[in-house]
Amino acid sequence: MSNIPFGTTDWTAVARTVHPGETGTATWRTQTFDGIRVRMVEYAPGYLADHWCSKGHILLCLAGELHTELADGRTVVLRPGMSYQVADGAEAHRSRASTGATLFIVD
């Protein structure tokens, strides 16, 4: 990381954008710092991603429960305080949140 001066973010003041999934919605609050996308994402109960993702992420579950399915058939469950990381072009994955989840994502 470079060219990012010290700063703080009040996530409650960041505009929301709604992204529909195959079912349910994901609400993003997004900031970009020198090409690094940082998001607070809320998955509504019943959310299922509408695509397989090959983008790299570092993801921290803040609330709820997130189920991430990998293309090879594995499933990972994150609960508050748990995270995962995956590189660009590594294992394709998609997420669902039966009861909803709040995530902090850096990509």
Q: What pLDDT, on the 0 to 100 scale, is given for residue 2? A: 86
User: Using CA atoms, how far apart are residues 53 and 91, in angstroms rounded to an integer?
Assistant: 9
Express each pLDDT in 19-33 by its tens digit: 999 999 999 999 999
Residue 81 has pLDDT above 90, yes or no: yes
For residue 1, give both structure tokens: 């990381």
* Residue 101 contacts residue 44 (beta carbons within 8 Å): no
Assign domain 15-106 to a CATH class: mainly beta
Distances (CA, A) of 11 to 3, 15, 16, 93: 21, 9, 10, 26
Q: Checking DSSP bridges between strand 25-33 and strand 36-43, what pairing results, if any?
A: antiparallel
* Residue 102 contacts residue 40 (beta carbons within 8 Å): yes
Single pTM value for the model: 0.92
Distances (CA, A) of 38 to 43, 93, 106: 16, 19, 5
Express each pLDDT in 55-77 by its tens digit: 999 999 999 999 999 999 999 99
